[in-house]
Structure 1
Amino acid sequence: MKKAVFLIILFTGLFSCSKDNDDANHELPFPLPTELIYFPSNGSTTWEVKSISELGWNENELQPLYDYLQLKNTKSFIILHNGKIVVEKYFGTHTASSPWYWASAGKTLTTAVAGIAEQEGLININNKVSDYLGYGWTAAPLAKENLITCKNLLSMNSGLDDSLGDDVSPTNLQYVADAGTRWAYHNVYVKMQDVIAQASGQTWDAYFNTKLKDKIGMTGAWTQVGDLSVYGSTTRSMARFGLMIYAKGKWHSTQIVNENYLNAATNTSQSINQSYGFMWWLNGKSSFHLPQTQYQFNGSLIPNAPSDMYAALGKNDQKIYIVPSQKLVIIRMGDAADAETFGLSDFDNALWDKINALTN
C-alpha cells in the first residue's frame, strides 16, 4: 500500500509542472513511452493489423496501387508499419501459403547468418577466406587469393571475374583485380555459406535453420537451381526476415543478429559502389554501380524512395524494402514486372511513386 501511494505521489509530481517550468522547457526524467515494434508469434498464423485510416494515409490511393501491382505481374505484396500489417494482397492463384523464390534478395539471408557466426566467435569477416576453406578455392595465384577476405565476399569486391557465369568451382573463379579494388556483382558470395559450414561443423542448411529460420518462425527451404542455391518461402516469411532486420537484429526480446554488424551491413561497405553494403542495396547515396557493368551512375539508386531506404533486390523483381524513418517494411514477390532483370529495375521507381501516393 505504501508503495502504491508513493508511485501516485511521484507521478502526480512529475505531470503537474507549473507554467513557469513549462516555459523553461522542463524535461521529464524519463522519455514518454512510444509504440513498441510488434512481432508475430512463432508457429502462429496470427499477425496484428493496423488500418490505413489509423495512420492517416490516403486510402483512395490503395486501389490504384493494387491495379499497378497486378498489371506488373505481382503475386503478393505486404506493407508493415512498425511490425503490424497495413496492406496484404495476393493476386491470381497465389495465396498466403504459396511459396515463391527470393532470388538474389536471399543474399541478405547469408549476410545475416554471417553476422550470427561472427558473434558466436566462429568466424571473423576480416579474415581471409582461405583461413576457412584452405588454399585453392579459386584459380587465382596464392598471393592474390590470400587477399580475399570474407568481407570482400559480402561487399562484392573480391576481384574475381564476374563474366564467367554462376559456377563457383575453383577453375571458374579467375583473378581479374586485387581484392578491394574492383566492385562486381558475383555469385562467389555463396562461398560464405561454405565458410560458415566449415567453421560451425554443420551443414549450411542446419546452421541456417537453427540460428535464423527457426528463431523468427520462418518457413521455406533452400533449393539448388543449376549452380545457384535459391531460397523460397511464403510472403509472410520474407516479411518476418525484413521485420527482424528493421528491428536492428531483434526478434521479440532476443538479439538474433548483432546490431553493430547490421549497421555495417546496411551502410556503404567499400569505396567503389556507394550504394552497396553487405549484399544490401542502399538508397540516397551520390552514385551507384549495377551488375554486369563497371560504369558508375550518378544519383540515388531509387529517386522516388526515401533516402534512408535500403533493400534486398532479387531477379524478376523480388523486393524487401526497409525504411527506418517511416517504420516501413515492404515486400513484393512475383514475376518480372517488365523485362527480366537482375534486381533493380525501372519498376522500383514507379512502384515507389504509387507507395508515396498511399503513405503521404
Structure 2
Amino acid sequence: MNRPFYLASLLFFIFFWNCSSEDVDEIPQEETPIIVPESLYFPPLTSNTWETESASELNWNTNQLAPLLNYLEEKNTKSFIILHKGKIVVETYMDGHTETSPWYWASAGKTLTTAVAGIAQEENLLNLNDKVSDYIGTGWTSASLDKENLITCKNLLSMTSGLDDGLGDGIAPNDLQYLADAGTRWAYHGVFVKMQDVVAAASNQSWDDYFTAKLKNRIGMTGTWIPNGNANVYWSTTRSMARFGLLMAANGKWENTQIIPESFVNEATSTTQNINLAYGYLWWLNGKTSYRLPQTQLQFSGELIPNAPQDMYCALGKNDQKIYIVPSKDLVIVRMGNAADDANFALSDFDNVLWEKISAFIN
C-alpha cells in the first residue's frame, strides 16, 4: 500500500469516518470438531464498554508481558489485543494509534467476504456450489465458456479458480486468463473479490448494504470499505476487528443470535481442497502437514506457524495484519500495524516469533 493511498484514505476518514458506537476436488476428511467456549462474553452493540480480565487471574506468566509488548513495538505494531472468552486481557496502542483510529485489514478482510457468503447461502440467495456465471453472467473472464463455467463460488473462496495469478490481481476480463481447470491448482489471487459481486447480484443489493445489514451492524462493528485499485479494502478500529474474531470464535453466534451458520464456520475453517492443506475459505489453518504461500507453486512441509497451537486458524493480511483464533484456549488475538520487517502478502517470519512470545506469556 503506497503513500498516496494512505494520504487519500486519511482524508476520506476526516470527512466520512463514523465511530459513534465504538469510539473442486474431493476434500480431505480432516475436519476438527467445533469447540464451543463456555461463558463467552460479548461487548454491547452500541457502547464502547468492554469487560476485562487480568492475566494474573488467569495464572498467565505476567513477567513475560513486557517482552511481548517490547517485541511488538520494535516490529512496527500499531495495536494489539488479546481476548480470552471474549474479555480483554491485553489491549495496547503504539506509534500514535488509538482505540478510535482506523486501520486497514488488507487481506485479513477476505474473511469478511467468506462470512457474508455463508450468510447469503443460509438465506437461500445463492449456492456456493453454483458456477459464478450463474450470478454475474458469462464473459467475466477471458476463458472459453466451457472453462469459465467450471469456476464455482467455492473455487473463489478456496483460491482454486485456475485463473492465471501471474498476470497480477486485475479483475477485468482481460486480466482473468485461463491457466488450469478450476479445482486443479491453488493460487493466491485477487479474483476472490468477484464473490462480493455474486452476493450483490444474488441479494439485489449493493455489497456494502448487504454486508452492513447482515454482519457489521449485528455485531457492533464500525468501519468502511475503501476501493484501492482492484481491491476493496476494509478499514476499522482494532476493536471492530476483534469483534469479528470473537464472532468466529463463537462459531458464528453473537450472544443468542446465530449470524453465520455454525456448520459453515466449521467448513470455512477446515481444509477445503487437497492442494493447500493449510487453506480453508480465505482462512489460513495451522496444524497441517504442509502448506503453500502466495506467489509460488512450491509446497512446504510442516505447520504454517510451528510455535502456535495446532488448532489455530487465522486471517492474514498484507504487512502483518492478523486475526488469530485458538479454540482450544478460548483466544482471539488481533495485531494491526505496518510491516514487521519487509513487506509481505500474508505469512511472515514475524508470525512464528510473535507466537513464541505469546506462548511464553499465556502458558
Judge same fold: TM > 0.5, yes or no.
Answer: yes
Partners of 1:298 and 1:174 in 2: CA distance: 30
Report the Cα offset of residue 204 of structure 1: 0.3
Partners of 2:131 and 2:119 in 1: CA distance: 18
Q: Give the structure 1 partner of residue 32 of structure 2.
A: none
Partners of 1:212 and 1:165 in 2: CA distance: 30
Q: Is 1:199 aligned with 2:202?
A: yes
Partners of 2:340 and 2:95 in 1: CA distance: 15
Partners of 1:106 and 1:80 in 2: CA distance: 19
Q: Give the structure 2 partner of residue 158 of structure 1.
A: 161
Partners of 1:314 and 1:350 in 2: CA distance: 17
Q: Give 1:73's aligned amino acid.
A: N
Identity of aligned pairs, percent? Answer: 69
> 1:229 is matched with which residue: 218, 229, 232?
232
Deviations 1:244-265 (A, max 9, x none): 0000000110000000011000
Q: Give the structure 2 partner of residue 81 of structure 1.
A: 84
Q: Is 1:119 aligned with 2:122?
A: yes
Structure 1 spans left out of the alignment, 5+ residues: 1-33
Q: Give the structure 1 partner of residue 135 of structure 2.
A: 132
Q: Is 1:242 aligned with 2:208?
A: no
Q: Give 1:313's aligned amino acid.
A: L
Partners of 1:104 and 1:168 in 2: CA distance: 16
Report the Cα offset of residue 199 of structure 1: 0.4
Q: Is 1:279 aligned with 2:282?
A: yes
Partners of 2:193 and 2:47 in 1: CA distance: 31
Q: Give 1:311's aligned amino acid.
A: C
Q: Is 1:333 aligned with 2:336?
A: yes
Q: Give the structure 1 partner of residue 64 of structure 2.
A: 61
Residue pairs, 1:27-66, within 5 angstroms? 35-66=38-69
Report the Cα offset of residue 171 of structure 1: 1.0
Q: Give 1:289's aligned amino acid.
A: R
Q: Is 1:354 aligned with 2:357?
A: yes
Structure 2 spans left out of the alignment, 5+ residues: 1-36
Report the Cα offset of residue 92 of structure 1: 2.1
> 1:253 is matched with which residue: 241, 256, 275?
256
Partners of 1:108 and 1:118 in 2: CA distance: 15
Q: Give the structure 1 partner of residue 175 of structure 2.
A: 172
Q: Give the structure 1 partner of residue 112 of structure 2.
A: 109
Report the Cα offset of residue 35 of structure 1: 4.2
Report the Cα offset of residue 163 of structure 1: 1.1
Q: Is 1:92 aligned with 2:67?
A: no
Q: Give 1:99's aligned amino acid.
A: P
Q: Give the structure 1 partner of residue 190 of structure 2.
A: 187
Could you say what secondary structure the match of 2:357 adopts?
helix
CA RMSD of aligned residues (A): 0.7
TM-score, normalised relative to structure 2 = 0.90
Could you say what secondary structure the match of 1:80 adopts?
strand
Could you say what secondary structure the match of 1:205 adopts?
helix
Partners of 2:311 and 2:200 in 1: CA distance: 33
Deviations 1:281-302 (A, max 9, x none): 0000000000010000000000
Deviations 1:181-213 (A, max 9, x none): 000000000000000000000000000000000
Q: Give 1:284's aligned amino acid.
A: G
Distance 1:35 1:266, change over 3 A: closer
More RCO (CA 8 Å, sep 6+): 2
Could you say what secondary structure the match of 1:55 adopts?
coil
Partners of 1:80 and 1:304 in 2: CA distance: 19
Q: Give the structure 1 partner of residue 151 of structure 2.
A: 148
Partners of 1:330 and 1:163 in 2: CA distance: 33
Q: Give the structure 2 partner of residue 296 of structure 1.
A: 299
Q: Give the structure 2 partner of residue 316 of structure 1.
A: 319
Q: Give 2:330's aligned amino acid.
A: K
Partners of 2:201 and 2:132 in 1: CA distance: 11
Partners of 1:343 and 1:85 in 2: CA distance: 25
Deviations 1:293-335 (A, max 9, x none): 0000000000000000000000000000000000000000000
Partners of 2:315 and 2:96 in 1: CA distance: 25
Partners of 1:219 and 1:109 in 2: CA distance: 13
Partners of 2:39 and 2:151 in 1: CA distance: 41
Could you say what secondary structure the match of 2:277 adopts?
coil
Partners of 1:226 and 1:50 in 2: CA distance: 41
- The aligned length equals 327
Q: Give 2:304's aligned amino acid.
A: L
Partners of 1:188 and 1:271 in 2: CA distance: 20
Report the Cα offset of residue 157 of structure 1: 0.3
Q: Give the structure 1 partner of residue 28 of structure 2.
A: none
